[in-house]
Amino acid sequence: MLITVKRCIFEDDTTIGVMKLDGKFQCFTLEDKIRDIKIDGKTAIPKGNYKVILNMSNRFQKVLPLIMDVPNFAGVRIHSGNTHADTEGCILVGNLITNSRSIGESKLAMDKLMLILRSQQNGIELQIDE
């Protein structure tokens, strides 16, 4: 399965995008600001191609997607949340954009995404474009 994230709204501290699974719209995304120089906990991961695995998150105490081998980042996940305050480099998902700096119905979007990802037998790839 190929997850694509196309970033499209760029604010001072927030980046909003569209997530597709194998080319089909899935949900909206929210990340920190894209920066040339990383600021811990305040920077979106670089565009590129990444492998994704599902494993237990000690922080969230449940199985979540983990984005592998992100340069200069560790523990980057896809999870629920609504604003840049809810992420430290991770990708948040939501069913709607509430304004240019937040997304909504995040838990619903995450539950739906996890149902699909758990059914995958052939690995998951992530492609991030700007």
pLDDT for position 10: 96
Residue showing tokens 């906990």: 41
Q: Where are the domains of the chain?
A: 2-129
- pLDDT of 121 above 90: no
Q: What is the 3-state secondary structure (H, E, C) of the chain?
A: CEEEEEEEEECCCEEEEEEEECCEEEEEEEEECCCCCCCCCCCCCCCEEEEEEEEEECCCCEEEEEECCCCCCCCEEEEECCCHHHCCCCEEEECEEEECCEEECHHHHHHHHHHHHHCCCCCEEEEEEC
The pLDDT-based confidence of 122 (bands split at 50, 70, 90) is confident
Whether 120 shows a pLDDT value over 90: the answer reads no
pLDDT digits (tens, 9 = 90+) for 15-51: 999 999 999 999 999 999 999 999 999 999 999 999 9
Calpha distance 75→73 (Å, rounded): 7
Q: Give the per-residue pLDDT at 115.
A: 96
Contacts of 78 (CB under 8 A, 6+ apart): 52, 64, 65, 67, 90, 91, 92, 93, 110, 113
- Give the CATH fold of the 2-129 domain: L,D-transpeptidase catalytic domain-like (2.40.440)
- In tens, the pLDDT along 49-103 reads 999 999 999 999 999 999 999 999 999 999 999 999 999 999 999 999 999 999 9
- The model's pTM: 0.96
Alpha carbon 37 to chain centroid, angstroms: 20
| Tokens read off for 100 | 């240019």
